[in-house]
Amino acid sequence: MTDVVRAEKDTSKAAWEALEGPQPIVLHPDDAAHWVGVYEELVATMDRMVGIARMRASAQQKDGGLPSQEARELELLTGRAAFFRERLNWWSERSGERASESEQTA
């Protein structure tokens, strides 16, 4: 791996790490519902982006191969989509817990 590619990879990784999201604690009963909505939108957007990147990659493979930059883009998008999906699942579980707590106190 060249220094330029390594630096680009490190920069890209640092940019994604800055998007780690809210601290995984629920401070207010509506927090979980809010974050479920946020992550649902992010997952839907990332799924569309991954789909477009895959279509482009498929077309480029037919034309003789996938450039490394395109392959890297697809890899990053797929990883970020998985991250957002994990966060959605986490917040969905918290939302379910809050609903259970509300039912028990009612």
Block mean pLDDT (10 aa), the chain, length 106: 47 51 64 93 96 85 72 89 94 79 58
∠ CA 8-12-14, rounded to 5°: 120
Answer whether residue 37 is part of any domain. no
If one counts the domains in the chain, the total is 1
pLDDT digits (tens, 9 = 90+) for 2-27: 444 444 455 445 454 555 565 556 56
Coil vs helix vs strand at 63: coil
Strands (E), 15-102: none
Q: One-letter amino acid identity for 27? A: L
Q: Whole-prediction pTM value?
A: 0.65
Answer whether residue 45 is part of any domain. no
Answer whether residue 80 is part of any domain. yes
Answer whether residue 89 is part of any domain. yes
The pLDDT value recorded for residue 59 is 79
Run of H or E residues at 8: helix 3-17
Answer whether residue 106 is part of any domain. no
**Structural domain span for residue 70:** 65-97
Tokens matching residue 54: 């895959």
